[in-house]
Amino acid sequence: MGDDPPRDRMSQRPAWWPDPRLGLVLATRLLSVLAGPVTLYLVATRRSLAEQGFFFVLVNVQALASLVELGAGTIVVQFISHESPSLRWRRDGALEGESVAVARALGVVRQGWRWYGSLAVLLLLALPVGLRAFGAAAARSEVSFDVAWTTVVIATAAYLPLVPLLCTLEGAHGLLRVQTMRLAQSTTAILALWFGLVSIGALEAVMMFALSWLAVPATWLAWRHRLFVAQALRARGNEPSLAAAQWRTGGTWLVLWVAPQLLPQLVLAARGAADAGRIGMSLAIATAPVTLAGAWLQSRYPQYASTLTQSGRAALDELAGRAGARALAVCALGGAAATAATWLLHRFFPHLADRLLSPGLVAALCATGLGWITIHSLAAYLRAEREEPLFAATSVGTILTIAMTALAASRGAETATLVYSLAVLAITLPIVAIAFRAERAKRAGILSV
């Protein structure tokens, strides 16, 4: 693969011509979104309701792989973007350019390895916790849980050290090549998931997905960029102080991830696998528009920092505002389609609709997705300056949301879902919006001095 198109060539394309970087990100996300209904259909028709509940527990664990890339990984992308004008990729996959910029980029990778390595260790320590928390319930439901849980946790932990390498490639003119790999990664993992659902079992299918998700990028890095990996292994010194910002960024994404992913688990503990399966299925449908809308933001993350550096805050405001508005539009349209699809299932396929919540509650979950996209948009804008000032606000809002959801879980899936949606939109989103306005006003005051 050659390098991504230079910035000047990209800027000379006609306005109506699609941005290939955005196109690839959208293709990868669209693949997952289009595959979602097939996956949910296979779960609903080929697997038991008890399996469905534990299926979404494992899916949530494997989702940590994507979480850290879209969360803490974005700070790596934006740090590298500041150095990107002085960096380029050789045909053999090695990184070259100005020596100081190369050293800083490799330093970011090594620091990322320490950060993600620690996260991987924490995830492995959760192995016995999950076995103890869900093992007895799985045995009562006659679901084989232990092997699948162990495999998914280990595969996800092994994937985390690859994230700094992939994010560095994205930030240094490598978005096209990385997204091409991700398209192959998603395709392989989804096919493995479907094969498992049809021929083996729901939990074994997630296990096959997690192994495929690890194998494709590991093979690609060894084939295309082994010299870059060797450079990072040999590098010493010149490590920028991104640890604090990365920790807060990772924390922000983690707390934003926890609330929706804990919803099925809280109901599982309070009401059993059947109710948890209905919430998990409904949440998967409502999350699909959020996944697609996130592509509009992710494709612009590498540009945020470079735009601020090269063109100033006004240009960043325009870029971030346009990306955020389009992401919200995509999320809203997708949410409307998801709600309509749920209504059709309830109207014409009641035997499948029994696996879901009502269309009104799916609509509430879709509205919650608009709230999450708004929060991510605000955080990404402030993150362009390599800072993460919204961690405290998102943490407070999420803790309140989880507490309210936990209290409502014993009343059933419907009540827990409604309380969760109201808490996100009426508590978490306003808290984050107030913090964003205060931080932006503070930065405007600093600029005016």
| pLDDT, tens only, 100-130 | 888 888 888 888 888 788 888 988 998 888 8
More confident residue, 209 or 311: 209
Residue 16 confidence class, pLDDT cut points 50, 70, 90? very low
Ranges 152-156, 245-249, 321-325: which has the least confidence: 245-249
Give the residue-averaged pLDDT of 276-305.
79
Give the residue-averaged pLDDT of 258-278.
78
Residue 8 confidence class, pLDDT cut points 50, 70, 90? very low
**pLDDT of res. 137:** 76
Q: Which range has highest mean pLDDT (67-71, 159-163, 265-269)?
A: 159-163
Q: How far apart are CA 103 and CA 229, in angstroms?
A: 13
3-state secondary structure of 260: helix
pLDDT digits (tens, 9 = 90+) for 118-166: 888 988 998 888 888 777 778 777 788 899 999 999 999 999 999 889 9
**pLDDT of res. 192:** 96
pLDDT score of 1 more than 50: no
Residue 195 confidence class, pLDDT cut points 50, 70, 90? very high
Q: Are 44 and 352 in contact (CB under 8 A)?
A: yes
**pLDDT of res. 249:** 62
More confident residue, 67 or 446: 67
pLDDT score of 373 more than 60: yes
Q: Which range has highest mean pLDDT (18-22, 54-58, 272-276)?
A: 54-58
pLDDT score of 246 more than 60: no
Instruction: Name residues whose C-beta falls within 8 Å of residue 447's C-beta, 6 or more positions apart in sequence.
Output: 313
Q: Are 203 and 56 in contact (CB under 8 A)?
A: no
Q: How far apart are CA 376 and CA 249, in angstroms?
A: 11
Of all residues in the chain, the percent with pLDDT exceeding 70 is: 83
Q: How far apart are CA 432 and CA 380, in angstroms?
A: 13
Instruction: Name residues whose C-beta falls within 8 Å of residue 192's C-beta, 6 or more positions apart in sequence.
Output: 205, 208, 209, 211, 212
Give the residue-averaged pLDDT of 217-223.
95
**Angle ∠(389,393,399) on CA atoms, nearest 5:** 140
Determine how many CB atoms are found less than 10 A away from the CB of residue 449.
4
DSSP assignment string, 323-339: HHHHHHHHHHHHHHHHH
Q: Which phi-psi region, left, alpha or beta, contains residue 142 (left: φ > 0; alpha: ψ -120 to 50)? A: left
More confident residue, 303 or 18: 303
**Angle ∠(191,194,195) on CA atoms, nearest 5:** 85
pTM surpassing 0.75?
Answer: no
Residue 254 confidence class, pLDDT cut points 50, 70, 90? low
pLDDT score of 9 more than 50: no
